Amino acid sequence: MQATVKAATIRALADLEQEMAEAQRIAEAEALHEALAALARPARGWLSTGQAAERLGVTVPTVKDWIRRGTLEGQPVGSRWRVSEASVDKVLRVREMVAEQDEEGYPSEEEIRALTRQVRRQMAAEQAQQIG
């Protein structure tokens, strides 16, 4: 299994690519662009916005919005965005946990009343022990 490339590494390489392009060092900028493209692939822990959207069952604009809001971790690579596969997995795990909680359901009014009565009885018994 290949190691995941950190977002900070992708960001640093993208910044360096930009610097090389601004300095008219075209060969170096192209080499960095090629390296970024190779590093920001699914095998390295990065997905395209389309791949992330498909896995999450949302649209590409939603993925981009979630990147802006910090829900997903993403980095621009050239003119495209790459999304951290780990951040997509995290959102999917949270969704799964919420769905499990929803399946358990909420207590009925009768269950709430019964619990309230039980707590009141316990409190009354504790007060009686303190007084007596």
Q: What is the mean pLDDT of the chain?
A: 85
Q: Which residue, chain included where needed, has tokens 């995290």?
A: 90
Domain membership flag for residue 62: yes
pLDDT tens digit string along 75-91?
Answer: 888 788 999 999 999 99
Residue 72 DSSP label: S
Domain membership flag for residue 30: yes
Looking at beta carbons, which pairs linking 28-35 to residues 24 or more positions away fall under 8 Å? 33/78
Total tally of structural domains belonging to the chain: 1
| Per-residue pLDDT band at 9 (split at 50, 70, 90) | confident
| Per-residue pLDDT band at 1 (split at 50, 70, 90) | very low
- The whole domain housing 86 covers 7-131
Q: What is the pLDDT of residue 24?
A: 94
Distance of CA 82 to the CA centre of its chain: 13
Domain membership flag for residue 1: no
Domain membership flag for residue 2: no
Domain membership flag for residue 63: yes
pLDDT tens digit string along 89-101?
Answer: 999 998 888 887 7
pTM over 0.75: no
Q: How far are the Cα atoms of 23, 45, 63, 71, 93 from residue 89, in angstroms, in the given order?
A: 39, 11, 13, 11, 6
Token reading at 66: 């979630």
Residue 70 DSSP label: T
